[in-house]
């Protein structure tokens, strides 16, 4: 029987069942333990980044090459025929006629879903505006399972830019399938969007809006920090809230021993460098886990059985 992700578009976390998320996490764990160099043999993947990226693009490219596949693409939409006015729909029709899967990052919310409607092959969303970043969520879930030993029943604080931070939207939706309890710590102008809170209410998931990092640190298994998304934000407003909710090593003295600090990166000033040397810092390992999670996802999307 084909795995349930075979030939599927990967657009948004609400499209996944709990079992599908666990399948990716289990497969990532297997590939981390026992590397494979053959799972994407004869597969060609397009990497189409219309918005800047370091980790997502390069970890996808690493994942494809380590699995024996090939990759083509671009890191700057400004060097493509989009610059001449070609629609995304036409670009994707062409690119998907050359390749076996299309990984795409785009600044517009909904762009990945639109691309999937015109693509002959699976589209994998590498981030669409402030909407979703499902593959980041897969590596976040994998990192959480690696550090906590489970996904069920965890207490997780999200801090920083909860409004524009697409990674927190995707991860809150995913963890809601595992009975998480949440704390939200942000300036009021960057609060978690109503639609996410309403989804959590519908599922009976408990969340608390907290005023400071210090009050949540002793309570949580995972502290998920985020950068204020300056590129999606009015500059005057940005200056008003810049530097609020920054984490320093001395603030972690009351943290649980196994508590881990995650961050999708890049960081700016929201995690001081002195946190890096604490046993709570896990964000660099988290970024490395991106290769295993993306290897797992590509293998499942492009092979009936893995």
**What whole-number distance in Å separates Cα of residue 243 and Cα of residue 273?**
14
Q: How far is the CB of 19 from ligand CP (least distance, A)?
A: 25
> CB of residue 220 vs ligand CP: minimum separation in angstroms?
21
The catalytic site residues sit at 55-56, 84, 105, 133
Contact 130, 192 (CB under 8 A): no
CB of 97 to ligand CP, least distance (A): 26
Roughly what angle, to the nearest 10 degrees, separates helices 166-175 and 134-148? 60
- CA distances to 6, 31, 139, 218, 306 from 23, in Å: 12, 12, 12, 31, 10
Q: Which residue, 163 or 306, is less far from ligand CP as judged by CB?
A: 163
Binding residues: 55-56, 84, 105, 133, 136, 166, 227, 265-266
Q: Are strands 101-106 and 44-49 parallel, antiparallel or unpaired?
A: parallel
Extract the tokens encoding 185: 């710590």
Where would I find the beta strands (DSSP E) of the chain? 44-49, 70-74, 101-106, 123-128, 155-159, 181-185, 207-210, 222-225, 260-262
Interface residues toward ligand CP, by CB under 6 A: 53-56, 127, 136, 264-266
Q: Which is nearer to ligand CP, 3 or 125 (by Cβ)? A: 125
Rounded CA-CA distance 303/23 in Å is 14
Q: Max alpha carbon distance in the chain (Å)?
A: 56
Name which of 66 and 205 has its Cβ closer to ligand CP: 66
Spatial contact of 140 and 119, defined as CB atoms under 8 Å apart: no
- The CB density around residue 51, as the number of other CB atoms within 10 Å, is 20
| Cβ 198 to ligand CP shortest distance, Å | 26
Q: Give the residue among 71, 2, 72, 59 at the shortest CA–CA distance from 28.
A: 59
Smallest separation (angstroms) from ligand CP to the CB of 38? 27
Given the complex with ligand CP, which of 116 and 286 has the nearer CB atom? 286
For ligand CP, the closer of residues 205 and 224 by Cβ is: 224
From the list 63, 61, 11, 60, the residue with the least C-alpha distance to 35 is: 63
């Amino acid at each position: 029987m084909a795995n349930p992700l075979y030939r599927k578009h990967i657009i948004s976390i609400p499209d996944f069942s709990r079992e599908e998320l666990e399948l990716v996490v289990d497969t990532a764990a297997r590939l981390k333990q026992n590397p494979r160099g053959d799972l994407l043999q004869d597969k060609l993947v397009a990497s189409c980044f219309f918005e800047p990226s370091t980790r997502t693009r390069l970890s996808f490219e690493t994942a494809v090459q380590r699995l024996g596949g090939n990759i083509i693409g671009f890191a700057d939409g400004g060097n493509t025929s989009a610059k001449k006015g070609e629609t995304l729909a036409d670009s994707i029709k062409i690119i998907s006629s050359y390749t076996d899967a299309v990984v795409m990052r785009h600044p517009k919310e909904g762009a990945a879903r639109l691309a999937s409607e015109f693509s002959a092959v699976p589209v994998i969303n590498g981030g669409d505006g402030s909407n979703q970043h499902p593959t980041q969520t897969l590596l976040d879930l994998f990192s959480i399972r690696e550090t906590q030993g489970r996904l069920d029943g965890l207490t997780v604080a999200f801090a920083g830019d909860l409004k524009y931070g697409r990674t927190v939207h995707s991860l809150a939706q995913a963890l809601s399938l595992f009975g998480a309890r949440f704390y939200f710590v942000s300036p009021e102008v960057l609060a978690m969007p109503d639609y996410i809170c309403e989804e959590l209410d519908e599922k009976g998931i408990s969340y608390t809006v907290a005023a400071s990092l210090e009050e949540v640190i002793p309570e949580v298994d995972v502290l998920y920090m985020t950068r204020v998304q300056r590129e999606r934000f009015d500059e005057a407003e940005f200056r008003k809230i810049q530097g609020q909710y920054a984490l320093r090593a001395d603030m972690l003295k009351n943290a649980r021993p196994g508590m881990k600090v995650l961050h999708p990166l890049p960081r700016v000033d929201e995690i001081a460098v002195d946190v890096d040397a604490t046993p709570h810092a896990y964000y660099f390992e988290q970024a490395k886990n991106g290769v295993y999670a993306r290897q797992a996802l590509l293998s499942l999307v492009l092979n009936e059985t893995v």
